Amino acid sequence: MHETVTISIGECGNNIGAQFWRDCCTQSDLSVSGHSLHPQVPPPSNLFEEQVSSRFVPRAILLDSDPGTLANIRNSDLGFLFPPSACISGSYGAGNSFGNGCYDPDLLELIQEPLNDQIRIQAEKCDQTPNFNLFHSLGEGTGSGTTAFVLMHLKEEYRTSVFNCSVLPEPDASVVSPYNCILGLNYLIESSSAVLCIDNGYLTAKLGIGEINQYTSRQLVGMFESEKWWIPKYDQDAAYYQRHFYHSETMWKGEIVTSCLVSDTDKVIQEIEFGNTKLYNSGVIQSIKQQLDSFDLMFKRFKLRLLEKSPSIIISDKLNSYQAKIRFL
């Protein structure tokens, strides 16, 4: 199978990543420090790289703008699984802002070089240019902005397929989350080959955050383990037109749970099955629409206030074109 390098970004991305790698170890008969309990059956080489004496290391990079979440992972029982060089963090968070996560020069000075080096080192260990998985949320600064920064780098340097597992914000997340979410979604539309949407707004009414992470991880492990798993091939020219925004359905504690609500009238364009998990490519995911509506409202008010203060100001229509693109999903 094609090798895959997984980059977990921000607090949410790293919480999901930690659960994912824990489950991958259990599934592959590895201890949480990566030692094989049954050396005759090695773990899948698309996800793990073999090092000396039956020790396996995840093809993973852990990235955050503040050091807290990575420190928690490194101080947990998973601490030995990831080499220190694969854990990259800045010194403070992106403060709920897409702009900080994507462009803050102080943050980029700390993370850009080690991140690019790590991606290159991990890619060089693969037989062919790897695919990339990105796990992240879209409601705050790092998950939306730094993910956009990583996507731009991957697009420029590797031109390979990228899969995103993206957590959509709950309605009572921070007031600026619709901005972060809509700005982040634009980069996914431009550069990601396939996106699995996990809707916190819908799922938090049924499950606690820990359970949502277990549920999400179970689906991801099921997909990557499956012989059927593929990421749509990256095609720079077609990326904008061939959008794959999936929602999923799986058995969880005896009930079928879906990762997102979709509109009743929506048509399923594509359906893929992996064991207990089904992925649907179906377009109108309700919480994306809600985020867009909140974004519209905030943006309209912002424009009015700005024009009141400075009537001669010219507002770029770039954001309007962003809205139009997402409406088209």
User: Is the Cβ of residue 142 or residue 191 nearer to ligand GTP in the bound state?
Assistant: 142
User: Is the Cβ of residue 130 or residue 184 nearer to ligand GTP in the bound state?
Assistant: 184
| Strand, coil or helix: 9 | strand
CB of 142 to Mg ion, least distance (A): 5
Which partner from the list ligand GTP, Mg ion, none does 169 bind, CB cut-off 5 to 8 Å by kind? ligand GTP
User: Is the Cβ of residue 107 or residue 262 nearer to Mg ion in the bound state?
Assistant: 107
β-pairing verdict for 270-274 and 255-258:
unpaired
CB of 141 to ligand GTP, least distance (A): 3
User: Is the Cβ of residue 131 or residue 213 nearer to ligand GTP in the bound state?
Assistant: 213
Contact at 8 Å (CB) between 194 and 248?
Answer: no
C-alpha torsion angle, residues 251, 252, 253, 254 (rounded to 10): -20
CB of 179 to ligand GTP, least distance (A): 12
Of the CA atoms within 13 Å of residue 95, those in its CB half-sphere come to 7
User: Is the Cβ of residue 93 or residue 139 nearer to Mg ion in the bound state?
Assistant: 93
Which partner from the list Mg ion, ligand GTP, none does 137 bind, CB cut-off 5 to 8 Å by kind? ligand GTP
**Distance separating alpha carbons of residues 235 and 238, to the nearest angstrom:** 5
CB of 65 to ligand GTP, least distance (A): 5
CB of 9 to Mg ion, least distance (A): 10
User: Is the Cβ of residue 77 or residue 273 nearer to ligand GTP in the bound state?
Assistant: 77
Residue nearest to ligand GTP (CB): 10
Which residues of this chain interact with ligand GTP, rule CB under 6 A?
A: 10-12, 15, 65, 93-96, 137, 139-143, 167, 169-170, 173, 200, 209, 212-213
Which partner from the list ligand GTP, Mg ion, none does 239 bind, CB cut-off 5 to 8 Å by kind? none
CB of 203 to ligand GTP, least distance (A): 7
Determine, following the binding rule CB under 5 A, whether residue 11 of this chain makes contact with Mg ion: yes
The CA-CA-CA angle for residues 214, 216, 222, to 5°, reads 100
Q: What are phi and psi of 110, to 5 degrees?
A: -80, -35
Determine, following the binding rule CB under 5 A, whether residue 93 of this chain makes contact with Mg ion: yes
Contact at 8 Å (CB) between 39 and 167?
Answer: no
Q: What are phi and psi of 83, to 5 degrees?
A: -65, 145
**Distance separating alpha carbons of residues 10 and 68, to the nearest angstrom:** 10
Q: Which residues of 303-317 are buried (b: 16+ CB within 10 A; e: fewer)?
A: eeeeeeeeeeeeeee
Tokens 């895959």 locate to 4
Binding site for Mg ion (CB under 5 A): 11, 93
